[in-house]
Amino acid sequence: MLNCHAYPRRCLRWLQRDVPVAYSSSLRRSVAASSTLFTVQRQQRLFNVSLGRDSSQSVRASPTPFQDEAIKKRGDPWKTSAQALERRKVAGQFLKRRSTIQDQEKPTFERRDPNIDPDTYALRLRELKYLQDPVRLADFVRDKLKRGQQKETLDLVRLASKEMECTVAWNHLIDDRLAKEQISIAMKLYNEMKKRAQIPDSYTYLILLRGMAINAHQSNALMHAMAIYHSMSAPNSRIPPSIMHTNAMLKVCARANNMDALWGVASKIPERGPGAANNLTFTTIINAIRQNLLVETPVGLGDREIAARKEEAVVQGRRIWEDVIGKWRAGDLFIDGQLVNTMGRLLLVGSRPRDWDDILSLVEQTMNIPRLVPRLGSEARTAAKLPTIRAPDVPPEYRGPDEHDMPGAATRRGDEFLPVVSKTVGNNNSNGLVFARPSNGTLSLVIEACLKTAARQAPTNYWTLLTDPHTYALQPDLENVHMLLRAHRAARASAA
């Protein structure tokens, strides 16, 4: 009745008969306001009905300080009411219905793979029902492969490939075959993986390239590695090669003694960016140059031909080292002890005494270990009255200085190993460079360099410096002791 617009007006006319005029006008305004309030409430109820809300619900005002204090003491009464409990019950049933729907949408694996033995299909299917997570599947596959169950694991991964992404499981299968030197089977698994719509990731290619490196003694390892690396370098490749893939590819070429393939891969390395060369890249290249010199030397060559091959290899290493130092000074490269030792071993097989003497400069440049022997050809060496280097196995034309050591030369041989001097005033750390830390290999390298350059007292001095607990605190190994004894025998220092 109060929702009717005519009812308030009739009441107003009836009251106007017995009240004064002023009071009747105020009463009319009050009744009009009440009518407006009724209209607003009716519109609000219609709006709630249109949105599907309960008409008994209304917008809850912010609690007053008294309500806030009561809620803090006794809690919110709404949360313990029967209506709230009923809502939570209905919401729980709804969530339960959703989880039931999700369970119905899980893969059923009803299509049987013809490659799987029918007798073992049911067993694999039963295992897969508990391996719906790709991570759990990959861990299960890895454990199975460790127990030698290759066939059962392959059937399981084939069955799982129909309904889920299991790239990591395929990676474990490929890695296991490469570890067992089965390159052909690993490549078949790689191709089958792609046929089953399992997209290889970056780790897949890295596993393949590293597997080819440990099996580089097989004739088809380099061929497969080059095919994989070139497919990654294609313009339409999903995954471009990173420096980790490049280093693995260089390792395959180095172990296969194929320098043409190695220089072809190295020529495509960018100067900057995520694919730029790092310390492991230069270590692999320099070590490959040395191994190629020692292993691939034709039988029957004379001393001059062998010395020429050594000279060519050392010159290549020196040019690479100029690039290494340039990147190191620019802060684009980290030099470690392994890289320094690799370059030192290459200089050690050189045919010139200058190559052997530059090892001490190399150690001083990269490890901040001062030279304890004056540089070859310097006035300080003449003043020290060190014995002349004999080098009986070196041809006469390689015993003296070459054209780069002559006065007036643009660059002198060995300048690439000069200490890096700071360009800023007051900076004692050579532009903030991080020096490499010497190792036991460094100690043996330095002692042998001193032995070949006829510096009799230097091996003992370097030994004392590097093994001092207050400096580098190296713990000598058996190889270091043998090298020191050789140096004492050559110097006839039996008292040492």
pLDDT in tens, the chain (496 residues): 556 666 666 665 665 555 454 444 544 444 444 444 444 455 455 445 444 444 444 444 445 554 566 667 667 665 677 866 877 777 666 656 544 444 444 555 545 566 666 667 767 777 788 788 889 999 999 999 999 999 889 988 998 888 889 999 999 999 999 999 999 999 999 999 999 999 999 999 999 999 999 999 998 999 999 999 999 999 999 999 999 999 999 999 999 999 999 999 999 999 988 889 999 999 999 999 999 998 887 878 888 888 899 999 999 999 999 999 999 998 899 999 999 999 999 999 998 889 999 999 999 999 999 999 888 877 777 777 776 676 666 777 776 665 554 434 455 667 888 887 644 444 455 557 889 999 999 999 999 999 888 888 899 999 999 999 999 999 999 999 999 999 888 877 665 5
For tokens 């109060």, what's the residue?
A: 2
Give the angle subtended at the CA of 335 by the CAs of 331 and 296, to the nearest 5°.
130
How much is the pTM?
Answer: 0.73
For 487, how many CA atoms within 13 A lie in the half-sphere containing its CB? 28
> Distance of CA 49 to CAs 36, 52, 293, Å?
20, 5, 90
Q: What sign has the CA pseudo-torsion 194, 196, 200, 204?
A: negative
Give the angle subtended at the CA of 278 by the CAs of 275 and 284, to the nearest 5°.
110
Residues with Cβ within 8 Å of 405's Cβ and at least 6 positions away in sequence, in order, are 354, 377, 412, 413
Nearest to 268 by CA among 238, 240, 293, 237: 240
Phi-psi region of 345 (alpha: psi -120 to 50; beta: other; left: phi over 0): alpha
Distance CA 470, CA 369 (A): 14
